[in-house]
Amino acid sequence: MKLVRYGNPGKEQPGLVDSTGQIRNLSGHIQDVNGETLALAGLARIAKLDPATLPLVSGSPRLGPCVGQVSKIVGVGLNYARHAAETGQEPPKEPILFLKATSSLSGANDPILLPRGSQKMDWEVELGVVIGTTARYVRTEEALSYVAGYCTLNDVSERAFQNERGGQFTKGKSADTFGPIGPWLVTADDVRNPQALDLFCEINGEMRQQSNTGDMMMPVARLISYITEFMTLMPGDLIATGTPSGVGHGMKPPQFLKAGDRVRCAVAGLGEQRHEVFAPL
Ligand code: ZN
């Protein structure tokens, strides 16, 4: 199933994308696409509905973040070897984890806004993992059963805020619009192997990142197990699983996003995002 949240920011309604690509309104059945819905019982209930019986949504509404009321976003740093190399760092002995503010979440085609004072805004296409079952101390072998679904995610980053302002990654990862997710949440039963998905990011029509989730150093199942050694993952929580090489920060000379740039990124089967970059108001 492909689940969406459509409508104006803050007023999104839950929907389902039917087999012809049209959105069907789910608000007669669920309040939102959120942790409660994504718990396994909730998903099973939606799966039983006949899409043809759901009201058709007319036009092409804006798509909001594909999950609502996310309680946390856990980011993973340097999870692709060639990306670690381009940043000039050794692959870490243990995964780097950071928290990204949930207020950064935005829709798949929403504008990306340069935060005030931004000089080094950068792109990071990633596989997003959405948790469906409360997870603590989870074993790798059973970890994927805790996943509700997957989505395309751009972990937009401000490198000066991230690396030159002291402290943690969080400062460079959390501005408004720095977390586009979607267009859809694709439920886990429709993703045969999360480690075999092509992903790419294009800037102004030029390919910058092109890889496959099979190149992750720590695959999704081990990441979930690892993260839950340190914190409980709740239904609706999101993991940004790390970005492959080809970010602006790694280019020679480095290249960063500016107003008017167009960003296009996708993970195979999970849908495409298209953004335009705007300067602060
Ligand atoms: Zn990232």
76-112 residue pLDDT tens: 999 998 888 888 888 889 999 999 999 999 999 999 9
Report the separation in Å between the CA atom of 52 and the middle of ligand 1, taken as the mean of its atom positions: 38
* Percent of the chain with pLDDT strictly greater than 90: 93
Average pLDDT of the residues in 250-263: 97
Across 1-5, 61-65, 85-89, 272-276, least confident range? 85-89
Report the separation in Å between the CA atom of 221 and the middle of ligand 1, taken as the mean of its atom positions: 17
Report the separation in Å between the CA atom of 75 and the middle of ligand 1, taken as the mean of its atom positions: 6
Report the separation in Å between the CA atom of 281 and the middle of ligand 1, taken as the mean of its atom positions: 26
Report the separation in Å between the CA atom of 153 and the middle of ligand 1, taken as the mean of its atom positions: 9
What value does the mean pLDDT of the chain take? Answer: 96
Average pLDDT of the residues in 223-252: 97
Residue 280's pLDDT is 75
Average pLDDT of the residues in 225-242: 98
Which of these, 270, 269, 126, 265, lies nearest to 203 by C-alpha position? 265
Report the separation in Å between the CA atom of 25 and the middle of ligand 1, taken as the mean of its atom positions: 32
Residue 281's pLDDT is 65
Report the separation in Å between the CA atom of 15 and the middle of ligand 1, taken as the mean of its atom positions: 28
Residue 86's pLDDT is 86
Report the separation in Å between the CA atom of 268 and the middle of ligand 1, taken as the mean of its atom positions: 18
Residue 65's pLDDT is 98
Q: Is pLDDT of 220 > 80? A: yes
Report the separation in Å between the CA atom of 7 and the middle of ligand 1, taken as the mean of its atom positions: 27
Report the separation in Å between the CA atom of 79 and the middle of ligand 1, taken as the mean of its atom positions: 9
Report the separation in Å between the CA atom of 58 and the middle of ligand 1, taken as the mean of its atom positions: 35
114-167 residue pLDDT tens: 999 999 999 999 999 999 999 999 999 999 999 999 999 999 999 999 999 999
